[in-house]
Chain A
């Protein structure tokens, strides 16, 4: 079907090429849309939270209430409940992580921006690298390097030959699977979501240019596109939450003493 359409009507189905945007200034490859979106998100987040916290009052304004809700959510529901009594040290990082990912994800459905930054895989990679360095650093600081490695590699109470089977799995989990799943989960969700929206909205637009029968079905494609936009909103919030939650869980694991 897709192939037939492509050959007869010239409809190009969305592909990975839609994610490779050309640089804005031709001589500088670092001036692509995602890069500008990242800078824009930093400005946006800073301005929002500075305005929200500047005139802190006992009876909060709507803006202050919104800002404090987000902060309270990350501090209480993510940091305190997961990490335990040492949580305050990690609130700044978790809060930055959550707002940064959330804002950049939401860019995917905000009109005119309409590109989720995290659908370019380098951004999630870098964020996962931060988390990776932090939870290993915390663990080494808390337990000591030798004790930490011993805890990862050698489960207590197992016959010695079994370590040949288990140690590679443990090492791979801590040093490979954790950062990889963390970044790829975020990337894949944003990538697939954007592609899905492209298919329905560009497809609906293309149907509108066809014969009368096709024109009649095109509203369904648009309606689906709109429904998926709401669905994407949910996924975008959820992915920002999961990334932050897992970071908090890894830090909690780094601080926990083996029993």
Chain B
């Protein structure tokens, strides 16, 4: 990724993979939390029960998309 101008590229590559691993977990977690939370709030507001599920699926989907954008494409 971006810190590639170091003299030891091998270490940097493995570190980048490790970095990506931690970030991916964070993104998946916050995607579920934020959109699930918004869905839950809308459920409470509108008196429905299914929006929390819609929100969580939306959040999971978009966080996987985000992970692909950050780490998958070159």
Q: Is the interface of A mostly helix, strand, loop or mixed?
A: helix
B50 within 8 A of A: no
Taken together as a complex, chains A and B put the C-alpha atoms of A84 and B5 apart, in Å, by 9
**Across the interface, do B65 and A249 meet the contact criterion of CB distance under 8 Å?**
no
B58 within 8 A of A: yes
Min C-beta distance of A253 to chain B, whole Å: 7
Give the residue of B11, B19, B33, B63 whose beta carbon is less than 8 angstroms from that of A252. B19
- How many B residues have CB within 8 A of the partner chain? 28
**Across the interface, do A177 and B19 meet the contact criterion of CB distance under 8 Å?**
no
> A168-185 interface mask toward B, CB cutoff 8 Å, 1 = contact, 0 = none?
111011001110010000
Taken together as a complex, chains A and B put the C-alpha atoms of A158 and B70 apart, in Å, by 11
- How many A residues have CB within 8 A of the partner chain? 27
From 57 to 89 in chain A, residues with beta carbon under 8 angstroms from any chain B beta carbon are 81-82, 84-85
Q: Quick one: closest B residue to A176, CB to CB?
A: B30
Min C-beta distance of A132 to chain B, whole Å: 13
Min C-beta distance of A191 to chain B, whole Å: 20
Q: Which of B12, B27, B38, B70 has the most CB of A within 10 A?
A: B27
A54 within 8 A of B: no
**Across the interface, do B2 and A170 meet the contact criterion of CB distance under 8 Å?**
no
B31 within 8 A of A: yes
Task: Point out the residues of chain A lying under 8 angstroms from B58, CB to CB.
Answer: 165
Min C-beta distance of B25 to chain A, whole Å: 8
Min C-beta distance of B2 to chain A, whole Å: 4
B54 within 8 A of A: no
**Across the interface, do B69 and A155 meet the contact criterion of CB distance under 8 Å?**
yes
> B34-70 interface mask toward A, CB cutoff 8 Å, 1 = contact, 0 = none?
1100100000000000000000001100110110011
Q: Which of A169, A176, A256 has the most CB of B within 10 A?
A: A169
Min C-beta distance of B11 to chain A, whole Å: 5
**Across the interface, do A169 and B63 meet the contact criterion of CB distance under 8 Å?**
yes
Task: Point out the residues of chain B lying under 8 angstroms from A258, CB to CB.
Answer: 2
> A224-259 interface mask toward B, CB cutoff 8 Å, 1 = contact, 0 = none?
000000000000000000000010010011001111
**Across the interface, do B69 and A82 meet the contact criterion of CB distance under 8 Å?**
no
**Across the interface, do A178 and B6 meet the contact criterion of CB distance under 8 Å?**
no
Taken together as a complex, chains A and B put the C-alpha atoms of A256 and B6 apart, in Å, by 12
7 nearest interchain CB pairs?
A172-B30, A165-B62, A177-B30, A256-B2, A173-B30, A172-B34, A169-B31
- List residues of B whose CB falls within 8 A of some A CB: 1-3, 6, 11-12, 15, 18-19, 22-23, 26-27, 29-31, 33-35, 38, 58-59, 62-63, 65-66, 69-70
Inter-chain pairs besides A162-B62, A168-B38, A169-B35, 8 sampled, C-beta below 8 Å: A81-B15, A158-B69, A162-B65, A166-B69, A169-B59, A181-B26, A249-B22, A256-B3
